[in-house]
């Protein structure tokens, strides 16, 4: 048996446990991340305190005016601009001669914006403007004018004279200033039918107006006539002739002779003459046509009306027919009847001789046209109204300026 060997135990010193290499790397990364995180927080805090870092809602940039202000739009005569000039067919220039188109005026020789007109191109002017100083000729087809607004000189207010315009003619009654005078024999006289009155007057365009009123102021008759004055502002003689076709309801009336003012259209220079008027009535017959024509265009019906007594019944009756309201049903006739004679038709002349009545009418007789049936109806009304008298067997109708054959043609 082998001898036992004495075992010697060695006392070893303590050492720190050895950290694995991977664990050390992890610790380093954690520390680095912590440092980065802290730095980030610090930087964010610092950045938030800086002024430029403040979040501001962007606003639109303000409009910045340029150093050169925009030039005002050029304007020519009476405010005309390039736009209105060209829209009206003109040609615009920024610098033209201000004397052009202003003949007779003193003007400075400086530039003026202008709208040109005329020329070969045929430029025109806007509304309310006129091409002035434009006189093209064969030798100057390119003549140019300037569009200018023509401003008429203000009209002078008519001044009514305050003194007598003339001496009062002998044997006449006149207005306050002697403009219109009437034969004084008519005063308080009984008017005949027809009545004729003479006088002398100074009136605008030589037109003398008149009207006959009954005692209650009701209009009986009215009309106008012309004075034969040789020149403006001079007196001329006139004559009034008219029938009394409405029977007066009073025994007295007033004849007014006057002119209408050229200033405001009111009656002026009036002469008021008291007269007596006939109250008796005379029956006359009128012949009217159907307003809705059938196959017989000459069909007529008779109605009875009244006029003041007259020794010229043929003319009075024909004038009464012309006074009827055209194209409206007459209340006295059979239902649906009236006259086709156009409104405004005047009797120019009437002559009865040898059984023939020759009547001439104003041009209004043909105003409505209406074809052959309408013309036939007008003829029938006139002819039958005249033929009721024993002195008339045949009627000849004409329009002023035309022969009977040319008148009342369809």
What digits encode the pLDDT tens for the residues 339-362?
Answer: 999 999 999 999 999 999 999 999
Residues whose CB falls within 8 Å of the CB of residue 42, separated by 6 or more in sequence, listed in order: none
Q: How many CB atoms lie within 10 A of CB 378?
A: 24
CA gap 171, 3 in Å, rounded? 203
DSSP secondary structure string for all residues of 129-151: -EEES---BTTBTT-EEEEE---
CA gap 1, 11 in Å, rounded? 30
Helix (H), strand (E) counts: the chain: 4, 18
Per-residue confidence (pLDDT) for residue 263, from 0 to 100: 82
CA 19 to chain centre: 115
The average confidence (pLDDT) of the chain is 84
Between these two residues, 395 and 154, which has the higher pLDDT value?
A: 395
Contact by Cβ (8 Å): 85, 126 = yes
Residue 153: phi and psi, rounded to 5, are: -65, 140
Per-residue confidence (pLDDT) for residue 135, from 0 to 100: 54
Between these two residues, 267 and 65, which has the higher pLDDT value?
A: 267
Q: Which two tokens stand for residue 126?
A: 């806007």
The mean pLDDT value for 74-78 works out to 81
Contact by Cβ (8 Å): 365, 345 = yes
CA gap 27, 340 in Å, rounded? 127
Does the pLDDT value for residue 61 go beyond 60? Answer: no
Going by C-alpha positions, the residue among 245, 244, 203 that lies closest to residue 224 is 203
Contact by Cβ (8 Å): 199, 180 = yes
Beta bridge partners of 53: none
Between these two residues, 129 and 161, which has the higher pLDDT value?
A: 129
Domains of the chain: 172-276 (2.60.40.10), 282-399 (no CATH)
Q: Which helix (H) or strand (E) holds 277?
A: none
Measured in Å, how far apart are the chain's first and last C-alpha atoms?
179
Per-residue confidence (pLDDT) for residue 294, from 0 to 100: 84
Does the pLDDT value for residue 254 go beyond 70? Answer: yes
* Sheet with 219-226, side-by-side order of all strands: 219-226, 207-214, 252-260, 267-276
If phi over 0 gives left and psi between -120 and 50 gives alpha, with beta otherwise, what is residue 321?
A: alpha
Between these two residues, 107 and 106, which has the higher pLDDT value?
A: 107
Q: Which helix (H) or strand (E) holds 190?
A: none
SS3 383: helix
CA gap 91, 306 in Å, rounded? 70
SS3 218: coil
Going by C-alpha positions, the residue among 360, 369, 351 that lies closest to residue 397 is 360
What is the per-residue pLDDT across 77-99, written as a single tens digit (0 to 9) for each? 788 899 889 988 888 998 888 87
Between these two residues, 316 and 67, which has the higher pLDDT value?
A: 316
CA gap 241, 348 in Å, rounded? 12
Q: Which two tokens stand for residue 406?
A: 């040319």
What does DSSP assign to residue 53? Answer: G
Contact by Cβ (8 Å): 190, 278 = yes
DSSP secondary structure string for all residues of 164-187: -SSPPPTTEEE-TTSSEEEEGGGT
CA distances from 319 to 116, 172, 242, 267, 325 (A): 59, 30, 10, 27, 12
CA gap 109, 172 in Å, rounded? 64
Per-residue confidence (pLDDT) for residue 70, from 0 to 100: 62
If phi over 0 gives left and psi between -120 and 50 gives alpha, with beta otherwise, what is residue 318?
A: alpha
CA distances from 279 to 173, 212, 245, 253, 389 (A): 26, 14, 11, 11, 24
């Amino acid at each position: 048996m082998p001898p036992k060997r004495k075992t010697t135990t060695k006392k070893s010193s303590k050492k720190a446990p050895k950290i694995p290499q991977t664990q050390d790397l992890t610790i380093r990364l954690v520390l680095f991340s912590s440092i980065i995180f802290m730095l980030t927080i610090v930087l964010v805090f610092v950045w938030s305190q800086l002024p430029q870092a403040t979040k501001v809602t962007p606003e639109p940039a303000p409009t910045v005016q340029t150093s050169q202000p925009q030039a005002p739009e050029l304007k020519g005569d009476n405010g005309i601009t390039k736009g209105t000039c060209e829209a009206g067919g003109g040609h615009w220039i920024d610098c033209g001669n201000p004397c052009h188109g202003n003949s007779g005026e003193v003007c400075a020789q400086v530039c003026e914006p202008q709208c040109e007109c005329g020329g070969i191109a045929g430029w025109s002017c806007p509304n309310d403007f006129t091409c002035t100083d434009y006189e093209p000729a064969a030798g100057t087809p390119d003549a140019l004018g300037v569009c200018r607004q023509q401003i008429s000189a203000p009209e002078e207010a008519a001044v009514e004279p305050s003194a007598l315009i003339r001496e009062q003619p002998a044997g006449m009654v006149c207005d306050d200033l002697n403009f219109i005078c009437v034969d004084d024999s008519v005063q308080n006289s009984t008017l005949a039918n027809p009545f004729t009155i003479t006088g002398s007057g100074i009136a605008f365009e030589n037109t003398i107006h008149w009207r006959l009123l009954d005692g209650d102021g009701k209009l009986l008759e009215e009309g106008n006539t012309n004075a034969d004055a040789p020149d403006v502002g001079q007196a001329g003689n006139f004559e009034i002739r008219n029938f009394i076709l409405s029977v007066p309801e009073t025994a007295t009336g007033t004849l007014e002779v006057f002119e209408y003012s050229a200033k405001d259209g009111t009656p002026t220079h009036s002469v008021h003459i008291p007269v007596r008027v006939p109250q008796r009535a005379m029956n006359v017959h009128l012949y009217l046509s159907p307003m809705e024509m059938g196959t017989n265009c000459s069909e007529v019906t008779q109605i009875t009306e009244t006029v003041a007594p007259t020794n010229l019944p043929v003319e009075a009756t024909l004038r009464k027919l012309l006074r009827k309201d055209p194209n409206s049903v007459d209340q006295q006739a059979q239902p649906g009847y009236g006259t086709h004679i156009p409104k405004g038709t005047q009797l120019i002349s009437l002559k009865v001789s040898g059984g023939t009545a020759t009547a001439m009418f104003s041009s209004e007789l043909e105003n409505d046209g209406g074809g052959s049936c309408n013309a036939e109806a007008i003829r029938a009304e006139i002819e039958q109204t005249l033929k009721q008298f024993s002195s008339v067997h045949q009627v000849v109708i004409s329009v002023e300026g035309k022969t009977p054959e040319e008148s009342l043609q369809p």
